[in-house]
Homo-oligomer: A and B are copies of this chain.
Amino acid sequence: MEAFPQLSEEHVTLDLIAREAGVSPSTVSRILNGSARVSDTKRVAVEDTIARFNFQPNLMARSLAMGQTYTIGVLTQFIESPFYGEALRGIEDALAGTPYSPLFVSGHWNLKKEEARMRLLQARRVDGVIILTGRLSDQQLLKYAQRLPIVVTGRNLSAPKLASVAIDDYGGAYDATKHLIDLGHTRIAFITGPDDHPDAIERLRGYQTALHDAGLEWVPELILPADFLESGGMLAMHRLLESRQNFTAVFAANDQMAYGARLALYRRNIRVPEDISLVGYDDLPNSTYSMPPLTTVRQPVYDIGRLAALAMLKLIAGEAADIAAPPLELVVRESTRRVRR
């Protein structure tokens, strides 16, 4: 008689495997985890029955027993963000090949939601969480770090189980502005982000300081409030145009707003860069292919994601970790040129 083909794939447990292979559960566990030497005969027997039953150990049960979930929470702001998306990819890549996997949750730039997400991650007993900027206070972050390893971007904090990587938004904006100044522009408009957004604040400061350092005081009429979205950039640009202010260049505090501004310009038949120079910030994947290709400040988001994940792995291993922020880079493409005189 042939061996009975195993049909009831339901509920295959480690105990079942042990029984079928004629060994104890511990032995199966040891083979699964390589946690101790096991005789070859038993190993083969067990591996066979595992294959035969297509057995997948229950990670929940394992986590419960080991007190570790091998899961790293990742608090991002919008799961569909083209910007943070790159960071998520960096995290995924860094974690591939390790036993850890990421658990992505979105905070929507909303303190309450971020707190709720953090609670969820804690309830799931993640081994650590990577926080991509967001609105949690430094104090809260420090508090969390008392309970589990935390890696946070966009901050400059230090604590035992905490690693952070700040980004020099100020410097990036300074450089971008200086680039325009170097091209001879003196009337440079700035489309800013939400005024309670830390990145927006820093970028504005960089813009103002660069002007100041060049002996060109900034004028409030050339600073347009907006919201980091394409629509906001477009609106701001229209408003600027209607104000009849004199200007030869526009620096948008992010690429998305630059896209919007570009469209507003197009609508009025104003050419870029012939008539107006345009600079963005972030270097979204699309900016290479925008019309014209956009001069912008490249944020190494992918690398930041990767480094954040690597730092988390170290923290989990009980080691100290600090992240050397990869440098920002001004990417000069075709949307800027020397001012007409």
Q: Which residues of A does B touch, CB under 8 Å?
A: 9, 56-61, 63-64, 69, 78-82, 85-86, 88-89, 92, 101, 103-106, 119-120, 122-125, 146-147, 230, 234, 259-260, 262-263, 266, 285-286, 288-293
Contacts and interface: CB of A to CB of B under 8 A. Distances in A.
B123 A104 contact: no
A60 B293 contact: no
A101 B101 CA distance: 16
A75 B79 CA distance: 14
Given A60-B125, A80-B89, A104-B104, 10 more contacts: A56-B122, A60-B124, A61-B64, A101-B105, A101-B120, A103-B103, A230-B289, A259-B290, A263-B293, A290-B290
Nearest to A91: B79
Most B-side CB within 10 Å, residue of A85, A230, A289: A289
A261 to B, nearest CB: 10
Contacts of A292: 266
A293 B57 CA distance: 51
Contacts of A263: 289, 291, 293
A55 B234 CA distance: 47
A64 B60 contact: yes
A291 B291 contact: yes
Contact of A82 (B56, B80, B103): B80
Contacts of A56: 119, 122-123
Contacts of A119: 56
Copies in the complex: 2
A59 B123 contact: yes
Nearest to A58: B125
18 contacts: A58-B64, A58-B123, A60-B64, A60-B69, A60-B124, A79-B85, A79-B89, A79-B104, A80-B86, A92-B106, A103-B103, A104-B104, A234-B289, A260-B289, A262-B291, A263-B291, A263-B293, A290-B290
A123 B289 CA distance: 41
A80 B289 CA distance: 17
A161 to B, nearest CB: 13
A21 to B, nearest CB: 20
Given A60-B64, A263-B289, A79 B69 contact: no
Contact of A60 (B57, B63, B81, B85): B63
Contacts of A125: 58-60
Contacts of A104: 79, 104
A12 B262 CA distance: 55
A12 B250 CA distance: 55
A36 B59 CA distance: 30
Contacts of A146: 9
Contact of A88 (B59, B80, B123): B80
Contacts of A230: 288-289
Contacts of A234: 289
A280 to B, nearest CB: 12
A119 B103 CA distance: 16
Contacts of A81: 85
A116 to B, nearest CB: 10
